[in-house]
């Protein structure tokens, strides 16, 4: 894969009717923290910059990068560049995966948003990261490209999915229709969203219940009346256990085609650096 190949494939999918994953050349960069900003009461946004941000690529909301940290002995192990990809050695470097919230190539800035929670390696790092702090970031390796040809869009998840949903709402055509459903603890975790007028935004408050322990998201999604005869793209992310029933709902009740949905466990209760594939 070279730069031209992936750009051609990206344009092809965007001009078509079905979503598809498109891979990018994968970079490894040492970036500098420019600033840290609170986003509601539950998220910290860290803005990165630096000369190595040149050449970074970001095209769709369903993208992620990996922040690489020293291991428990203080040793920083980095993946090795291998052409347009990376080779991860054993023992595997300590890293955590996060969505690209915003990339401004002209301004030289990359935003990543971290959900703040006790005991999280990246969360605790982000909560105290000061301007000038440096860190290595790998990726993104690509993303699921969704054309604007769908009749409606259903975007749903817990607060860990909020950065991707927020970016998605900003990039949808202003005449897009559908739903965005987000579970948060309470009103203090809600954030301003730039959603098209025809897209209904719902906030679900779990109150004192532990994150990932409720069925609020499942119940809210099941109440939706998906119009018959319309193509709906469905994207749902959150705690792996809580969204498991929605995998069955999409396949057996909605009977959505494989290319028309993506259900991903972003995290799993009690598991660090959880990785999931539908």
Of the pLDDT bands very low, low, confident and very high (cuts 50, 70, 90), residue 278 is very low
- Classify 5-143 by CATH class: mainly beta
CA distance 39 to 101: 12
CATH, range 148-267: 3.40.50.80
Q: How far is CA 256 from the centre of its chain?
A: 21
Rounded to an integer, the average pLDDT of 142-153 is: 95
Instruction: Identify which of 66, 266, 240 has the alpha carbon closest to the alpha carbon of residue 163.
Output: 266
pLDDT at residue number 119: 83
Say how many Å lie between the first and final Cα of the chain, rounded: 24
Structural domain spans, the chain: 5-143, 148-267
CA distance 20 to 10: 9
Residue with tokens 């301007």: 131
Per residue in 84-102, pLDDT (tens digit) is 889 998 888 999 999 999 9
Residue with tokens 């909020």: 162
């Amino acid at each position: 894969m070279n730069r031209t190949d992936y750009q051609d494939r990206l344009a092809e999918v965007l001009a078509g009717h079905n979503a598809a994953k498109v891979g990018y050349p994968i970079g490894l960069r040492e970036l500098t923290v420019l600033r840290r900003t609170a986003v509601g009461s539950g998220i910290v946004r860290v803005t990165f910059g630096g000369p190595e941000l040149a050449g970074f690529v970001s095209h769709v909301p369903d993208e992620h990068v990996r922040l690489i940290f020293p291991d428990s002995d203080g040793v920083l192990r980095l993946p090795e560049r291998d052409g347009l990809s990376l080779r991860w050695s054993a023992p595997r470097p300590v890293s955590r995966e996060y969505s690209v919230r915003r990339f401004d190539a002209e301004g030289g800035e990359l935003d990543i948003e971290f959900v703040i929670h006790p005991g999280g390696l990246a969360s605790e790092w982000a909560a105290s990261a000061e301007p000038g702090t440096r860190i290595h970031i790998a990726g993104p390796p690509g993303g699921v490209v969704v054309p604007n040809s769908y009749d409606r869009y259903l975007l749903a998840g817990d607060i860990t999915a909020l950065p991707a949903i927020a970016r998605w709402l900003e990039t949808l055509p202003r005449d897009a229709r559908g739903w965005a459903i987000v579970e948060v603890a309470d009103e203090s975790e809600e954030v301003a969203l730039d959603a098209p007028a025809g897209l209904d935004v719902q906030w679900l408050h779990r109150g004192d219940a532990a994150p990932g322990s409720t069925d609020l998201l499942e119940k809210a999604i099941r109440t939706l009346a998906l119009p018959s005869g319309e193509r709906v793209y469905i994207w749902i992310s959150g705690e792996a256990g809580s969204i498991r029933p929605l995998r069955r709902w999409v396949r057996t009740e909605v009977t959505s085609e494989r290319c028309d949905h993506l259900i991903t466990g972003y995290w799993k209760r009690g598991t660090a650096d959880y990785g999931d594939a539908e």
